[in-house]
Amino acid sequence: MNIVSMIVAAVQQGIPLLFGATGEIVTEKSGNLNLGIPGIMYVGGISGIVGSFLYENSLHGAPINPFLGVFIPLICSLFGSSLMGLIYCFLTITLRANQNVTGLALTTFGTGLGSYLGQSLTKLAHSETPDISLIATGSLFRKSFPVFPEKIRWLGNILFSYGFLTYLAIFIALFAAYFLKRTRPGLHLRAVGENPATADAVGINVTAYKYGATIIGAAIAGLGGLHFVMEYLGGLWSSAGFGDRGWLAIAIVIFAIWRPNLAILGSILFGGLYILGVKLTGPIASIFGAGTTDIFKMMPYVVTIIVLIISSIRNRRENQPPASLGLPYFREDR
């Protein structure tokens, strides 16, 4: 296990988290605290699997069309996670349900739906093992840039050994940072999350911004699930699904103090810590003994708590969550 493969593994592990964190930041900037992100990422993953399963089965042995092979899972994933975002919006914005309860319910729902659909597909595929394998689609998602010359192979590996979703994640995060800080819709979105009554008074459509940001945020987060099953696992759905990584994405939001560009660093760091436990062997691992994996899986949350403590002590208003985060908004009608 050398340093280059370590960095590559950290990036691969971190990218799903980056999708989730960027999606959640965009959502939270509208004042919606969507704790359904772990469930939404599950749904994003399984929707892609369902789409690609149906497509691959319809081929009957014919070679896979590279465009459709990528396009179908992508659209299915976006559709599934957007629908979850829409459910969240309808419950919390239109019906004014409690955001925490709704979010947690969506996480439970999404995880369950993922497992259920996964098992159904396994039955349909008459598979011996409890997982679905879509190698053809997976290899399309894994397609990377041509290999670099021998001398700087390590650099090529660190920068260019990933599939297109990885670069998309970083592009979306950078674009979201630019959007929030430098554009007028970004200004308006932040205003909605800070003080919806003020935004409303100057004629900003609060409901539209909240719906828009939350649904787009959910769609972005869902791509994290798709990346995990298609690029990271190479077209594989196992009963473990996406696991508990969704909560890490929410922790990154706090770690990155609501800035998508910082979330890029945060997700690679957290991804690195997450797999360090899995990959670490030898003398260091023996210090921690049998619990090595769990200790390293715990580290991101410890880091998050430290960031929370530091940002509370420094108490800069810019580093605090959006002021109306978690609160429902309705015009007071007397």
Partner 1 sequence: MNETTVIELKHVSKRFGRILANDDVDLDVLQGEILAVLGENGSGKTTLMNMIAGIYYPDAGEMYINGQHAVIRSPKDAFSYGIGMIHQHFKLIDVFTATENIILGLKDKGRYNLSEAKRQVRAIADKYGFIIDPDKKIYDMSVSEKQTVEIIKVLYRGANILILDEPTAVLTPQETETLFSVLRKMKEDGKSIIIITHKMHEVLSLSDRVAVLRKGRHIGTVDTKYATESSLTEMMVGKKVTLNIERTEPVNPVDRLTISDLTVMNREGVKVLDHISFTARSGEILGIAGIAGSGQRELLEAIAGLQKMSEGTISYVDPKSGETVDLRDKTPMQIRELGVRLSFVPEDRLGMGLVGNMDIIDNMMLRSYRRGSGIFVDRKKPKDLAETIIQDLQVVTPSTSTPVRRLSGGNVQKVLVGREIASSPTVLMAAYPVRGLDINSSYMIYNLLNVQKANGTAVIFVGEDLDVLIELCDRILVIGSGKITGIVDGRKADKEEIGSLMTKTVSFSEGMVR
Of 300, 275, 240, nearest to 13 by C-alpha is 275
- Give the start-end residues of each E strand in the chain: 132-133, 236-237
Segment contacting partner 1 by CB under 8 A, of 91-99, 111-119, 270-278, 311-319: 311-319
Residue 203 binding partner 1, by CB under 8 A: yes
Is residue 310 near partner 1 by the rule CB under 8 A? no
From candidates 182, 282, 283, 289, binder to partner 1 by CB under 8 A: 182
Answer for which of 191, 216, 220, 268 binds partner 1 (CB under 8 A) is 191
Separation between Cα atoms, residue 16 and residue 37, nearest integer Å: 12
Instruction: Choose which of 195, 238, 261, 293 interacts with partner 1 (CB under 8 A).
Output: 195
Using the rule CB under 8 A, is 199 a contact of partner 1?
yes
292 φψ region: left (φ > 0), alpha (ψ -120 to 50), beta (else): alpha
Scanning 183-191, 216-224, 230-238, 248-256 for contacts with partner 1 by CB under 8 A, the matching segment is 183-191
Tell the smallest beta-carbon distance from residue 259 to partner 1 (Å).
13
- Identity of the residue numbered 64: I
Tally of CB atoms within 10 A around 295: 17
Nearest to 102 by CA among 93, 112, 115, 114: 93
Minimum Å distance from CB 320 to partner 1? 8
Q: Which residues contact 216 (CB under 8 A, 6 or more apart)?
A: 23, 26, 85
Q: Which is nearer to partner 1, 3 or 313 (CB)?
A: 313
Range 53-82, binding partner 1 (CB under 8 A): none
| Residues in contact with 91: Cβ distance below 8 Å, sequence separation at least 6, in sequence order | 97, 102
Tokens in use for 81? 């996670």
Residue 7 token pair = 């960095």
Q: Which stretch binds partner 1 (CB under 8 A): 49-57, 117-125, 300-308, 317-325?
A: 317-325
Kindly tell me which of 131 and 194 has the beta carbon lying closer to partner 1: 194
Taking the complex as a whole, how short is the minimal distance between the CB of residue 185 and partner 1, in angstroms?
A: 9
Q: Which stretch binds partner 1 (CB under 8 A): 116-124, 196-204, 207-215, 298-306?
A: 196-204
Angle at 199 between CA 194 and CA 205, to 5 degrees: 120
Q: Which residues contact 116 (CB under 8 A, 6 or more apart)?
A: none
Q: Which of residues 204-233 bind partner 1 (CB under 8 A)?
A: 204
Residues 6 or more apart whose Cβ sits within 8 Å of residue 44: 77, 78, 80, 81, 219, 221, 222, 223, 224, 225, 226
Give the residue with the Cβ less far from partner 1, 209 or 232.
Answer: 209
Q: Which stretch binds partner 1 (CB under 8 A): 70-78, 153-161, 272-280, 310-318?
A: 310-318
Q: Quote the least distance from Cβ 182 to partner 1, whole Å.
A: 7
Residue 198 sits in the site that holds partner 1 (CB under 8 A): yes
131 vs 200, beta carbon nearer partner 1: 200
Q: From CA 243, how far away is CA 239, in angstroms rounded?
A: 9
Which spans of this chain sit near partner 1 (rule: CB under 8 A)?
182-184, 187-188, 190-191, 194-195, 197-199, 201-204, 315, 317-318, 320, 323, 334
